[in-house]
Amino acid sequence: MRLVSYTQGAKGPVRVGILRDGSEGAPLADLERCARRLGVPGIPKSPTVRGLLSLGAGFLGRLSKAAVAFWKEFDRSAALRRTAGVRLSAIRFLPPIPDPEKVICIGQNYIDHCREQNAPIPKAPILFAKFPTTLTGHLRPVRLPLVSEKVDFEAELAVVIGKEGRNIPEAKAYGHVAGYMPLNDVSARDLQYSDGQWVRGKSCDTFAPCGPALVTRDEVPDPQNLRIGLILNGQAMQDSSTSNLIFNVPFLIAFISRSITLKPGDIISTGTPPGVGCFRKPPVFLKPGDVMTVWIEGLGRLTSPVEVGR
């Protein structure tokens, strides 16, 4: 199942939709409007994705199974398409989780990314934070801050937590995962390297586009075996596989939860493969008018135009 957060218009209320698949222009249905057809008790009024996650894995599983039957009926019923269908051209995509408590990121977590910068393989995960104000949705602009001249891109697999936990055993880590989504860890390299730590350079507003959808765990049998890449202005810049992760998803969840309580809606962005702009010769940094697309096998394509910020 693919859960989308969106508004109809720039300032409308936040809605939750179910996207049929990851293809371009795939149908989207409003969850609240189609709740009765789904036949799953307990769908709240004015739901949020984070609120749905708090209802537990059992609820999400029932909803995911019901969605399969719903899409078959949707294809057959013109009336259902009129009442529950959403025109993609009329909506504004939000981050699938617009209001996470935490956005935790992992640095230098691909073997080949370490090699491209002549960095040693980390012996333990390198953690840093991005603030929730970095989050933005599919097709929404990344805005270049006036304080930076070296803004870079990073395609990443993001994990969304579905069940609260502390000291989570690695063997039970997947039970705490709600699903996965593409994320672009946009980075102001001049701020990042001048500060000697990464938070300011990684946390400028709009520096974490993600989505379009949260793809639930039942649709992703092995997150450690997905192709991942980034296209900039039609040119492939990154193309790798999550099989090259140094620390995999269960290890990261276990490691982080030894010191930080993970809660439903928290986002863990697992690191980027090689091909980022700052290590190219010559370097490639973002400029107004650029268009970035992060793609991950089975999870869809996240597109972000680049604009001047303030």
Q: What is the pTM of this model?
A: 0.96
In this structure, the answer to whether residues 19 and 151 fall within a common structural domain is no
Count how many domains the chain has.
2
- CATH assignment of the domain containing 215: 3.90.850.10
Residues 205, 141 contacting (CB under 8 angstroms) = no
Which token pair is 120? 């040693």
Residues 222 and 177 in one domain: yes
The dihedral region occupied by 307, where left means phi > 0, alpha psi between -120 and 50, and beta the remainder, is: beta
133 and 66 fall within a common domain:
no
Q: By residue range, what is the domain housing residue 265?
A: 103-308
Cβ pair 272, 156 in contact under 8 A? yes
Domain end, chosen from 93, 114, 146, is at 93
Domain check: are 213 and 125 in the same one? yes
> pLDDT tens, 266-308?
999 999 999 999 999 999 999 999 999 999 999 999 999 999 9
Question: What pLDDT sits at residue 113?
Answer: 87
Residues (pLDDT < 70) of the chain are none
In a domain? residue 98 = no
181 and 48 co-located in one domain: no
293 in the same domain as 159: yes
The owner of tokens 């300032």 is 11
